């Protein structure tokens, strides 16, 4: 989902509508219906429950006059081979039991409302589907577990501040010829070890392990609309922010999208391989809208209910994709909660990135957090604390960035630090602190303390802060980042905003930006390929662009090996030293002190590392955004330089005994003692 902040709404709606695959139609549900009067089903068992002896089917649809289940031999063609009528029960639920073994058969529900049969579709709770997700499939989930699945364990995690996120599209990792991966563009591509680039360097999962990340954030891997799974021999690409079946893995990343069990098994193989490599798995989830509107599974079964309506009775569209869901309604809330619980329990997912989280209500997000943390205390939840347009739900009720302090163990992306480092995200030639723009020092300081309250930050001078106060209650609630799948890669952005700079100068700015992300407090987030100066050939919105734009070119790892080593060193530095990831606002307030300096492009601060539980006694961090060396008075040494403009070395690069330090242009320095 695009990160809308200050775009004109007309333009954002046009672009997002294309990216999401939605439409701008209006609701035609019965305007006399009061959705709040629909009874909520409080039990379990919605969807399909399989046993060899019989299968049970349950659907929630209070306005339905009749409901029937259609059974098919194939997932894409053919007429029904059987029709089963469902019986109305309590709380708007309809149910049927079918004796016999239905494993492998396909199905769809169809409801009759106002005398008209709507289209047959899978139920929202469908756990397996046939090709292109048009029909559900009845599977035995126990048969989809790969060898050793019962012994799969989440890699250890001390606390959320220790997380280093890495955002990746499944296809991007392996599709380039230089990846050395056989299962290109597939879940299984993330299970292959020992893969190498033509230059002999690690690629794929071995590269991720070498880099040292803790969590792999996967762009949408639920079943989405925009890729034709029956034409996988033809190159197709989409980010996947157009949901179709929320509880089913996307078939385009499987080796056989026709058999619903295959994608499930291969997804689990991917998760297990990543866990075995010491990497947790985060799903990018898009509950805020659906790819289709009238034709969506939700709308064909309970018209209008799952969506918000505007004052005119049409579809409200805070997602700029044709619709927005109504998380405050009981059954949408129940669906979101049970869907995420299902991914955690069935697929061992370790966390969720919530797309356009600002569309959802705070009560729903907090309920989800509480329930997921009961299942697994180390689950990590974070999201975009904004919307792409206006919503009828009041701001005070929504999970917006400004309300993050009211969220329970949920983090939000910091557009404050993003734009402070590189410049305004939608002004392509704008510069930031790392590329030499003054006036951003207070925003950088705000990023250093992870959007929390600190006595040395002037909040009225921080970008995108309304009201002018800290929005994170604790540091883990801030996702510190400079680039992601949206907008230009960091390398392309520097090319746009610094066209006169040499490649060497832009590399220095790029490394400074990375150092700022990985030495700030809070949770660090890296866009896949940033460690090798990833380019998308200048394309900003690559949601449906070909592989030639989106793929990771692994030859860049060899070409820019020093940049990769720099990022790898920064990740290790962060993981090894708790001074960079203090666990509370109070600890940051007590142990982090900014050093006053008049230069608007020189920022320095000291950390009482020993008090933060570090093996080092004290740490000093310096960012120089100037294109020239900068002088800084420092306390008496000796100090040991562990990060400079060239490399990262925890054993020491140089010793400094002087009280005046020269900081290289466009660089970060870390000194310890």
- Residues catalogued as catalytic: 355, 384
Here the tokens at position 303 are 């018209």
**Checking DSSP bridges between strand 380-383 and strand 410-413, what pairing results, if any?**
parallel
Q: Distances in Å between the alpha carbon of 42 and those of 92, 123, 253, 375?
A: 10, 17, 35, 20
> How far is Cα 84 from Cα 36, in angstroms, rounded to an integer?
30
What number of CA atoms fall less than 13 Å from residue 215's CA on the CB side? 31
DSSP, collapsed to helix, strand or coil, labels residue 111 as: strand
Burial class of residue 664 (count of CB atoms within 10 Å of its CB; 0-12, 13-18, 19+): middle
Report yes or no: 236 and 252 within 8 Å, Cβ to Cβ.
Answer: yes
Report yes or no: 197 and 178 within 8 Å, Cβ to Cβ.
Answer: yes
Q: Distances in Å between the alpha carbon of 232 and those of 235, 247, 256, 257?
A: 7, 21, 10, 9
Here the tokens at position 365 are 């997000």
Give the ranges where 254-361 is alpha helix by DSSP (H): 260-276, 297-301, 330-347
Here the tokens at position 222 are 């639920």
Q: Distances in Å between the alpha carbon of 665 and those of 508, 517, 646?
A: 8, 18, 11
Cis peptide before 467 (omega within 30 of 0): yes
Here the tokens at position 311 are 């004052």
> How far is Cα 41 from Cα 90, in angstroms, rounded to an integer?
8
> How far is Cα 575 from Cα 567, in angstroms, rounded to an integer?
12
CA nearest neighbour of 513 among 645, 630, 633: 645
Report yes or no: 627 and 509 within 8 Å, Cβ to Cβ.
Answer: no
> How far is Cα 673 from Cα 569, in angstroms, rounded to an integer?
19
Q: In what order do the strands lie in the sheet with 47-50?
A: 47-50, 54-60, 93-99, 87-88
The residue to which tokens 């705000």 are assigned: 446
Q: How many residues does the chain have?
A: 673
Q: What is the DSSP string of 539-580?
A: -S--TT--HHHHS--THHHHHTHHHHHHHHHHHHHHHH-GGG
> How far is Cα 551 from Cα 206, in angstroms, rounded to an integer?
17
Q: Which helix (H) or strand (E) holds 13?
A: helix 9-20
């Amino acid at each position: 989902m695009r990160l809308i902040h200050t775009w004109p709404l007309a333009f954002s709606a046009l672009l997002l509508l294309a990216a999401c695959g939605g439409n701008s139609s209006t609701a035609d549900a019965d305007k006399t219906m009061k959705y709040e009067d629909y009874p909520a089903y409080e039990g379990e068992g919605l969807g399909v429950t399989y046993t060899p002896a019989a299968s049970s089917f349950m659907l929630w649809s209070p306005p339905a006059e009749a409901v029937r289940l259609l059974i098919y031999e194939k997932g894409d063609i053919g007429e029904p081979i059987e029709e089963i009528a469902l019986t109305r029960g309590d709380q708007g639920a309809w149910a049927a039991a079918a004796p016999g073994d239905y494993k492998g058969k396909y199905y769809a529900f169809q409801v009759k409302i106002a005398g008209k049969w709507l289209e047959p579709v899978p139920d929202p709770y469908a756990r397996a589907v046939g090709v292109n997700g048009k029909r559900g499939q009845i599977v035995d989930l126990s048969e989809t577990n790969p060898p050793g699945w019962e012994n799969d364990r989440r890699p250890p995690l001390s606390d959320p501040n220790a997380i280093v996120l890495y955002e990746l599209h499944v296809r991007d990792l392996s599709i380039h010829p230089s990846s050395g991966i056989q299962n290109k563009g597939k879940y299984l591509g993330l299970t292959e070890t020992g893969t190498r680039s033509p230059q002999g360097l690690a690629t794929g999962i071995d590269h991720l392990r070498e880099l040292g990340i803790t969590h792999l954030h996967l762009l949408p891997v639920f079943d989405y609309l925009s890729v034709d799974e029956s034409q996988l021999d033809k190159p197709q690409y989409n980010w996947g922010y157009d949901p179709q079946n929320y509880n089913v893995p996307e078939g385009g990343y499987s080796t056989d999208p026709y058999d619903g069990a295959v994608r499930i098994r291969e997804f689990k193989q991917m998760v297990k391989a990543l866990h075995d490599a010491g990497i947790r798995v985060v799903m990018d989830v898009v509950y805020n809208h659906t790819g289709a509107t009238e034709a969506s599974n939700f709308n064909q079964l309970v018209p209008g209910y799952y969506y918000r309506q505007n004052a005119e009775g049409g579809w409200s569209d805070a997602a700029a994709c044709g619709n927005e869901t109504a998380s405050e309604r009981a059954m949408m809330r129940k669906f979101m909660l049970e869907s995420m619980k299902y991914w955690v329990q069935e697929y061992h997912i370790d966390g969720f990135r919530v797309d356009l989280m600002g569309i959802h209500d705070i009560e729903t997000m907090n309920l989800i957090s509480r329930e997921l943390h009961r299942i697994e205390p180390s689950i990590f939840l974070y999201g975009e604390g904004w919307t792409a347009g206006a919503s009828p739900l009041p701001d005070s009720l929504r999970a917006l960035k400004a309300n993050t302090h009211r969220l329970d163990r949920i983090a939000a992306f910091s557009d404050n630090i993003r734009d402070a480092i590189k410049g305004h995200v939608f002004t392509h030639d704008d510069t930031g602190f790392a590329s030499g723009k003054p006036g951003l020092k207070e925003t950088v300081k705000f990023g250093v303390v992870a959007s929390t309250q600190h006595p040395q930050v002037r909040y009225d001078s921080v970008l995108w802060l309304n009201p002018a106060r800290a929005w994170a209650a604790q540091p883990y609630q801030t996702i510190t980042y400079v680039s992601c799948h949206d907008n230009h890669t960091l390398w392309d952005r520097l090319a746009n905003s610094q066209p006169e700079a040499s490649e060497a100068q832009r590399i220095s700015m790029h490394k400074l930006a990375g150092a700022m992300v990985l030495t700030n407090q809070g949770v660090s987030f890296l866009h896949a390929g940033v460690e090798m100066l990833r380019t998308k050939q200048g394309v900003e919105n690559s949601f449906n662009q070909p592989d030639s734009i989106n793929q990771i070119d692994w030859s860049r790892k060899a070409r820019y090996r020093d940049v990769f080593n720099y990022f790898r060193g920064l990740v290790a530095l962060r993981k090894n030293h708790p001074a960079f990831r203090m666990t509370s606002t109070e600890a940051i307030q007590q142990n982090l002190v900014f050093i006053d300096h008049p230069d608007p492009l020189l920022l320095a601060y000291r950390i009482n590392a020993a008090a933060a539980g570090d093996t080092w006694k004290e740490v000093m961090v310096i960012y120089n955004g100037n294109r020239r060396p900068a002088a800084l008075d420092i306390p008496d040494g000796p100090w040991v330089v562990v990060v400079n403009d060239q490399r990262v070395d925890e054993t020491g690069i140089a010793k400094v005994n002087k009280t005046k330090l020269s900081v290289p242009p466009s660089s970060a320095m870390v000194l310890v003692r």
